[in-house]
Amino acid sequence: MLQLSRFYVPKKVKEYLKWRKVPFENVPTEFFDTIAEKFKKFHAENPLISIVLIAWNEEENILPTLASLADIKSNHSIEIIVVNNNSTDRTQDFLDRCNVKSVLETRPGIAKARNAGLKAAKGKYVISGDVDTIYLPEWPDKMVQPMLDDSNVVCTYSLHVFYDDDNHYPLALYIYQYIKLMGIYLKNFKRPHLNCGGASSAYVRDVALRFGGYDESLKRGSDGTLAFELSKFGKIKLVSSPKAFIYTSARRMKADGPISKALWIRLKNNLKYFTHYFTTQKTR
């Protein structure tokens, strides 16, 4: 099991987060130039890995994510693609200024945006990400290593650490993450696809293309559904290394209300579906 310290937000991650909500025109030229220069190495013509992120009106969150991706260190060739899901703010300006390869998907919807990225990707392995998330330098290599080691592994996922948008980290947030972790380990026995979220999951591109990728009829849950379909062709593996941890905004969790309410909902769901976690899901 993970220690409580695993859920703290490292100093380096907090440094990236300082760039949240900084207006485009207030970002120093030198900072933009540094990121743009680093992104040159992520335009590989024949990449092994395609990192694909989606964005819709993320001008307040995208710069910290791009800054963290710019610091990736990998032993493999990588391309990074961001799918702009028809943003109406300055999301595209940030992408262009940072020298990021981007794809425009005008049809709204997570699954549609992810499919646009899948179609554009050239790598053998696709790693899915979000632009309100901070990534560590070793993240891509850790995510694909199980698939490189074992051809029967077709999908991987890693663990989340939440950061609070107002830079407060109450005890309830740590407790919430432990309850969430309990559910992750339970689901990993027989239903690991339920743990595969779009912020950090990887898969074999050609396998995903066999069944058409993400189900565009779904408004939510398309990432887990993709993983379920992938599981018909091989194994799903949890990448538990702290170097594969991602640091993502707690804003969606807070959509349920206060952290205490989200905590209760998470605990209740874990108890409600407890027995299900020990049986294999047959159909979607």
pLDDT 10s digits, 47-67: 999 999 999 999 999 999 999
**Which pLDDT does position 183 carry in this prediction?**
83
Give the three-state DSSP class for 67. helix
Report whether pLDDT(221) > 50. Answer: yes
Which tens digit of pLDDT belongs to each residue from 4-15? 456 788 999 999
Which tens digit of pLDDT belongs to each residue from 152-163? 999 999 999 988
Q: How distant, in Å, are the alpha carbons of 162, 164, 169, 264 from that of 258?
A: 14, 12, 13, 10
Candidates 34, 28, 111, 95; CA nearest to 59 is 95
| 250 contacts 163 by C-beta, under 8 angstroms | yes
Strand partners of residue 203: 126, 155
Which tens digit of pLDDT belongs to each residue from 88-136? 999 999 999 999 999 999 999 999 999 999 999 999 999 999 999 999 9
Q: Which two tokens stand for residue 140?
A: 């891509």
Q: What is the DSSP string of 132-174?
A: TEEE-TTHHHHHHHHHHH-TTEEEEEE-EEEE-TTS---HHHH
Mean pLDDT of the chain: 90
Q: How distant, in Å, are the alpha carbons of 85, 115, 185 from that of 16?
A: 24, 28, 29
Q: Which two tokens stand for residue 230?
A: 């992938």
Mean pLDDT calculated for residue range 194-210: 97
| 244 contacts 200 by C-beta, under 8 angstroms | yes
**Which pLDDT does position 255 carry in this prediction?**
60
Rounded to the nearest 5°, which phi and psi values hold at 237? -125, 135
Candidates 242, 275, 247, 270; CA nearest to 181 is 270
The percent of residues above 90 in pLDDT, for the chain, comes to 73
Give the three-state DSSP class for 40. helix
Angle (CA) 82-30-33 rounded to 5° is: 40
**Lowest-confidence range among 36-40, 69-73, 154-158, 168-172?**
168-172
**Which pLDDT does position 130 carry in this prediction?**
96
Domains of the chain: 4-278 (3.90.550.10)
